[in-house]
Structure 1
Amino acid sequence: MDFAVVDEHTELRRAVAEIAADFGGAYYARKAEAREFPTELWQTLGRHGYLGASIPEAYGGGGGGLAELAIVCEESAAQGCPLLLMIVNTAIAAEMITRHGTEEQRSRWLPGLAAGTTRIAFAITEPDAGSNTHRLATTAVADGDGYRLDGQKYYISGVDEADAVLVVARTGTDEHTGEAALSLFVVDTDAPGLVAQPLPVAVALPERQFTLFLDGVRVGRDRLVGTEGAGFRQVFAGLNPERVTGAALAVGIGRYALARASRYVGERTVWGTPVGAHQGVAHPLAQAKIEIELAALMTAKAAWLHDQGQPAGEAANMAKYAAAEAALAALDAAIQAHGGNGVSTEYGLIPLWGLARLLRIAPVSREMILNYVAQHSLGLPRSY
């Protein structure tokens, strides 16, 4: 891994930051409080080609890799506009269709995903499965020239803004392990039998959450992504990009919080002295800065490993863990440094705290990451 910053990445960071800064934290906070998707920012990034940074050029994308997509996620968040849907839309859906889809599927979906004119949500979580993917109960049964899907999905982000949902369903049982054989299907959001019920959450986010009910939803065989029964392997190949882009969002959130706090405590004067001159204020911010930089390094390493085709699971999990912890610490220090203004709507820190707190739980909880590191990095007995 080369630590030198290439000119292309510097320019990418600058360009994305300029676009996101035109909207800014106040724009994001308004959208988050109203539970409205930041359509204007999304479309602008799409028109300039940044939503498709990791999509092949042949399908209208930028032809880059996960490193470039992570930069887009981080820089938009660093301007106060973290885009959660980029994780499911680009890091997961576009990645899986690119890697495992047919030529017809890639031609059908990727150009719109790259341009921002099409969005795909991702549905894997279920109320009774939790982190145990083998317990998924949603089924897809061969039916004539297609499949019939039945089941329920839980905490599915952005369905109301999506044209389709990439659904993970059981298509049988693995004859070697006895566990669920999973498959991936692209399901239109207006498909008969698919009902999206809003799931109220206290966290202020532009992307709304839903419970999905699939009751006899029929799809053609052309909607199967990859190989039937190989969905478990295909899904987990897409989870490293999910963790890395989640980490990048958290790093960006931390950068934004520290920039706001540093400016505030450098200007805010009490008893004739800027409050930032006091170590009780400065040290927590400095510590948070160190932790954000460390998380950024691990995020870059994980993206690089993925793009080089090397095993990236350990680094991706560590990056997501470190970045979520660092973002929360940065926001806590920033809110404290602002005093009462830290919870003021005007300063826009609380909406970002909610998202950072969510990133500590999802897409994989910190406890499951610790389980992974204990087992795979330290060689300890499996605990679950």
Structure 2
Amino acid sequence: MIIDLSDDQKEIHESVTRICRDFDDHYWTTADEEARFPEEFYRAMADNGWLGITMPEELGGANLGVTEAAIMMHAVASSGGGQAAASSLHINLFGPHAIVVHGTPEQKKRWLTPLIEGREKACFGVTEPDAGLDTTSIKTFARRVNDGYVVNGRKMWTSTGQEAHKILLLTRTVPKEECKKPTDGMTLFYTDLDRTKVEVKRIKKLGRAAVDSNAVFIEDLHIPDEDRVGEEGRGFHYLLDSLNPERVLVGIEAVGIGRDALNRAAKYAVDRTVFGRPIGMNQGIQHPLAEAWTALEAAYWMCMRAAYLYDAGKPCGAEANAAKFLSARAGFDATTKAVLAHGGMGYAKEYQVERLFRESLLPRIAPVTEQMILSFIGEKVLGMPKSY
């Protein structure tokens, strides 16, 4: 068995890396400090066809798999842009997958083509302030009317809501207490983000300021029938098509951020001289960085294993969750060690590792916590009783 990238996959990594080189540390520092969406980077990736890497070929996409998307996003995250660069793109890769699988031909053409071309941006309206990871307990409700639905409710941590033209919105159409199973009675929509009916309020946060996160308040938003994805009441099941790819991509982005920070620390350890010798000669500096490399390497291949299984149509829930778990921890550990290797300058914005450190915490929390992953593996893999 050969564990390696094909020539075509290596070319994906190299081509994306070449685009990323046009956006230097100053660009990403400025975007972070000004909390400004990286529009120029987004546009460059769209113009070179990368927003459609997983989309149908007949719509202008490349029709490639999650494996190739993961390679692309690793290149993006490891090239200096970190979470800001990755988050500006990755909803295009996992968010619309329910549309790719369950949308009608007319919906795919109407919705996916503008995403692929970069003419429209989308946001993901699933999480709610009172439900959190307990998605079946969402309360945003779509009430049936003659020509569609009227929606009221709240969403939380909706990324790119300030920039988005569309929202992929999960609602209840039947109250949870009236359903046979808690996963029933939820309906998925992809519709205009009508700001006369939807207030999108930016959340100030620790890192990744360039890509906004928001609290969303929906009041009497009308959604026509043609903007419903699939059947009424099947929305949660459609959403599952996006979850495993999302875990793989978030994981491999964490690896990319960790590798970027690690490379910066290794270079600093060679260049920085104290007491007449490079600090990289000291095992107190060298060993922690070497250990971080081993964890990042293992996490990377766990991500690739999960992506391979998904693309092959095989069960991959455990592997995708494990990939996200291992990668988030490895990335956070690497950025932490990178800051410490820089000493006092690790706390300064000049060397970038403080920005990468702040951003590396996010994959440990989102889109699913470490505790939920461990509970899933304990129950589904090890056969223990459900713990929550």
Fold similarity call, TM over 0.5 = yes
Shift in Å at residue 276 of structure 1?
0.7
> d(CA) in 1 for partners of 2:208 and 2:237?
33
Which of 237, 240, 244 is residue 244 of structure 2 equivalent to?
Answer: 240
Corresponding position: 1:122 with 2:133: no
Q: How far did 1:179 drift? A: 5.4
The corresponding residue for 1:261 is 265
Q: d(CA) in 1 for partners of 2:319 and 2:261?
A: 25
Alignment partner, residue 112 of structure 1 = 114
1:318 aligns with 2:338: no
1:201 partnered with 2:214: no
Query: Could you tell me whether the CA contact under 8 Å between 2:184 and 2:234 is conserved in 1?
Result: no
- The counterpart of 2:95, out of the listed 92, 97, 121, is 92
Counterpart of 2:62 in 1: which secondary structure? coil
Given the superposition, is the C-alpha separation of residues 285 and 21 from structure 1 closer, same or farther in structure 2, using an over 3 Å criterion? same
The partner residue of 1:355 within 352, 359, 362 is 359
* Separation in structure 1 between the aligned mates of residue 130 and residue 9 of structure 2, nearest angstrom: 42
SS at match of 2:219: strand
* Root-mean-square deviation over aligned CA pairs: 1.4
1:103 equivalent to 2:105? Answer: yes
Q: Give me the whole-angstrom Cα distance separating, in 2, the residues matched to 1:232 and 1:327.
A: 30
CA contact (8 A) 1:43 1:117 kept: no
Letter in 1 for 2:90: I
Q: Which residue of 2 aligns with 1:133?
A: 135
Structure 2 partner of 1:68: 68
Q: 2:52·2:92 contact (CA, 8 Å) conserved in 1? A: no
The superposition leaves residues 229-280 of structure 1 with CA deviations (integer Å, 9 ceiling, x where unpaired) of 1111111221111111101110110110111111111111112211111110
Shift in Å, 1:145: 1.5
Q: Which moved more, 1:231-240 or 1:7-16?
A: 231-240
Q: CA deviation at 1:71?
A: 1.2
Q: Deviations over 1:302-327 (max 9, x none)?
A: 11111111111111100110110000
Deviation at 1:175, TM superposition (A): 4.2
- Identify the residue that residue 18 of structure 2 maps to in structure 1: 18
Identical-pair percentage: 36
Which residue among 376, 380, 384 is the counterpart of 2:384? 380
Q: Is the 8 A contact 1:194 1:214 kept in 2?
A: yes
Moved over 2 A (4+): 85-90, 173-180, 202-205
Paired with 2:68 and 2:217, the residues of 1 have a C-alpha distance of 35
Alignment partners' CA distance in 2, 1:39 and 1:63: 24
- Offset, 1:187: 2.4
Alignment partner of 1:4 is 2:8? no
Deviation of 1:178 after TM superposition, in Å, equals: 5.5
CA–CA separation in structure 1 for the residues paired with 2:66 and 2:200: 30
Is 2:136–2:182's contact at 8 Å kept on the other side of the alignment? no
- Partner SS for 1:51: helix
Q: Which residue of 2 aligns with 1:284?
A: 288
Per-residue deviation at 1:357?
0.3
Contact 1:121 1:159 in 2 (8 A): yes
Contact 2:321 2:373 in 1 (8 A): yes
Query: Which SS does the other structure have where 1:142 is aligned?
Result: strand
The answer to whether the Cα contact below 8 Å between 1:243 and 1:320 also exists between their aligned partners in 2 is yes
**Unaligned segments of structure 2, at least 5 residues:** none
Tell me, yes or no, if the aligned pair for 2:42 and 2:89 is still in contact at 8 Å.
no
* Corresponding position: 1:145 with 2:151: no
Q: Deviations over 1:177-205 (max 9, x none)?
A: 25551111112123531111122223342
Q: Secondary structure at the match of 2:81?
A: coil
Q: Secondary structure at the match of 2:170?
A: strand
Whole-angstrom distance in 2 between the partners of 1:142 and 1:128:
24
Q: Which residue of 1 aligns with 2:231?
A: 227
- How far apart, CA to CA, are the structure 2 residues paired with 1:205 and 1:175? 39
SS in structure 2 of the partner of residue 214 of structure 1? strand
1:287-302 alignment to 2 at 5 Å?
A: 287-302=291-306
Would the alpha carbon gap of residues 14 and 178 (structure 1) be closer, same or farther in structure 2, given more than 3 Å must change? Answer: closer
**SS at 1:141's partner residue?**
strand
- Could you state the TM-score of these two structures normalised by the residue count of structure 2? 0.95
- 8 A Cα contact 1:89 1:121, kept in partner: no
258-267 or 184-193, which deviates more: 184-193
Q: Which amino acid aligns with 2:68?
A: E
TM-score (norm 1): 0.96
Report the secondary structure of 2:45's partner residue.
helix
Secondary structure (helix, strand or coil) at the match of 2:361 reads helix
Partners in 1 of 2:182 and 2:305 — Cα distance?
A: 36
Q: Once the 2 structures are TM-superposed, how far is the Cα of residue 104 of structure 1 from its aligned partner?
A: 1.1
Pick from 156, 170, 175: which aligns with 2:172? 170
Bigger Cα displacement from structure 2, 250-259 vs 177-186: 177-186
1:60–1:110 contact (8 Å) kept in structure 2: no
8 Å contact kept, 1:33–1:204: no
CA distance in 2, matches of 1:317, 1:56: 26
What is the CA distance between 1:378 and its match in structure 2? Answer: 1.0
| Amino acid of the structure 2 residue aligned with 1:127 | P
SS at match of 1:86: coil
Cα distance, 1:178–1:315 mapped onto 2, change above 3 Å: closer
| Count of matched residue positions in the alignment of Structure 1 and Structure 2 | 383
Measure, in 2, the Cα distance between the counterparts of 1:52 and 1:358: 25
